[in-house]
Amino acid sequence: MKRKLFCELSPLTYRLAVEKNILVRKTTDLKYTGKFALAKSSQVLPVVVYKHNSFIQRKLGNVQLTLQENKAVNLKLATPKVSHVLIKPGEIFSFWKLVGACTEKKGYKEGLMVGREEETKSGIGGGMCQFTNLIHWLVLHTPLVIIEHHHHDGIDMFPDYGRKVPFGTGTSIVYNYLDYRFINPTNQTFQLITYTDDTYLYGEVRCERPLLEKYHIKVENEYFSREEGVVYRNSTIYRSIIDKKTGNVLTKELVKKNHAKILYDSSTLPIVDEPKNDHQFA
């Protein structure tokens, strides 16, 4: 029998482990020599690099409608915390540095979350992963460099209902020790604009001057496989950096390889019963 971790012994030990992780992150950041992006400007930078929006109340299996409605409230509270932030050359964007803890006292409600056993559950502030998913998708279309990114590797929790962003480009965050961070290595300032309405979560990334390159994300070799009676989703995601002037591909880089266990009804999926045996993880 597998020995339980300290955090798995009881709700109390789990809470103690969480508090320890939060304290460790705060202490580490106090010693950190990098500069975090905290300044905002009500004036938007002139060049739109990339923009995207996503449904707030998406169809996610049997997720309760109340949790979706509460997520809309949570996103409405959180987006102004990030919107209009300036990421100057050399600065680091930290999601939790800007948003802070999502507490009931601040007005956050019970929303959909993923538990430590990678199961869906409800929790105060649920829905923030959709926010960092959006930011991550924007950042992938820029020269900004991701320095901290967590993901629920190995599981595919919901079927594709109108998916516009490839599976595997999501994020996982927990205040404050699982963060989403990126750094600006360029010689110009970038800016994030984020907001919501009744239907969508909106985001755009802007900068001071037009970029010389554009970025394209593509999924290749996507299929479903059955391995020892278990169905998996497989795909490879690449990012191409393209010279705007010539149209030439300057580089093509691996973003992620997916080999994720399907957690929903797979009876209608086209499944390959004899998959390849060279799965790699990224």
Q: What whole-number distance in Å separates Cα of residue 120 and Cα of residue 107?
A: 22
What's the structural domain count of the chain? Answer: 3
User: Are 119 and 175 contained in the same domain?
Assistant: yes
User: Are 201 and 135 contained in the same domain?
Assistant: yes
User: Are 278 and 176 contained in the same domain?
Assistant: no
User: Are 142 and 200 contained in the same domain?
Assistant: yes
Q: Which residue has the higher pLDDT, 225 or 114?
A: 225
Q: Which amino acid is at 214?
A: K
Q: Which residue has the higher pLDDT, 50 or 26?
A: 50
User: Are 162 and 201 contained in the same domain?
Assistant: yes
The least confident of 41-50, 80-89, 262-271 is 262-271
pLDDT digits (tens, 9 = 90+) for 58-102: 765 566 778 888 999 999 999 999 999 999 999 999 999 999 999
> Looking at the predicted structure, is the pLDDT value of residue 281 above 60?
no
User: Are 204 and 216 contained in the same domain?
Assistant: no
Structure token pair of residue 63: 């997720």
Task: Give the model's pLDDT for residue 67.
Answer: 84
The last residue of a domain, from among 179, 211, 243: 211
> Looking at the predicted structure, is the pLDDT value of residue 259 above 90?
yes
Q: How confident is the model at residue 277 (pLDDT cuts 50, 70, 90)?
A: low
Contact 80, 107 (CB under 8 A): no
Task: Give the model's pLDDT for residue 12.
Answer: 72
pLDDT digits (tens, 9 = 90+) for 46-62: 999 999 999 998 765 56
User: Are 65 and 108 contained in the same domain?
Assistant: yes
Q: What whole-number distance in Å separates Cα of residue 67 and Cα of residue 81?
A: 22
Count the alpha carbons within 13 Å of 87 in the hemisphere toward its beta carbon. 26
Task: Give the model's pLDDT for residue 100.
Answer: 97
Range of the domain at 87: 34-211
Task: Give the model's pLDDT for residue 122.
Answer: 79
User: Are 58 and 196 contained in the same domain?
Assistant: yes
Q: What is the mean pLDDT of residues 111-133?
A: 80
Mean pLDDT of the chain: 89
Q: What whole-number distance in Å separates Cα of residue 126 and Cα of residue 104?
A: 11
pLDDT digits (tens, 9 = 90+) for 178-195: 999 999 999 999 999 999
Of the candidates 248, 188, 185, the one whose C-alpha atom is nearest the C-alpha of residue 47 is 188
Give the number of residues written for the chain. Answer: 282
Per the listing, tokens 């799965």 go with 279
| Percent above pLDDT 90 for the chain | 68
User: Are 176 and 206 contained in the same domain?
Assistant: yes
Q: What is the mean pLDDT of residues 20-27?
A: 91
SS3 74: helix
Element (H, E) at 98: helix 95-99
User: Are 28 and 44 contained in the same domain?
Assistant: no
Give phi and psi for 242, each to the nearest 5: -115, 135
Per the listing, tokens 């169809």 go with 59
Sign of the Cα pseudo-torsion (10, 29, 131, 147, in order): negative
Q: What whole-number distance in Å separates Cα of residue 73 and Cα of residue 67?
A: 10
Task: Give the model's pLDDT for residue 274.
Answer: 59
Beta bridge pairs of residue 260: 233
Cα distances from 50 to residues 35, 53, 92, in angstroms, run 25, 11, 19
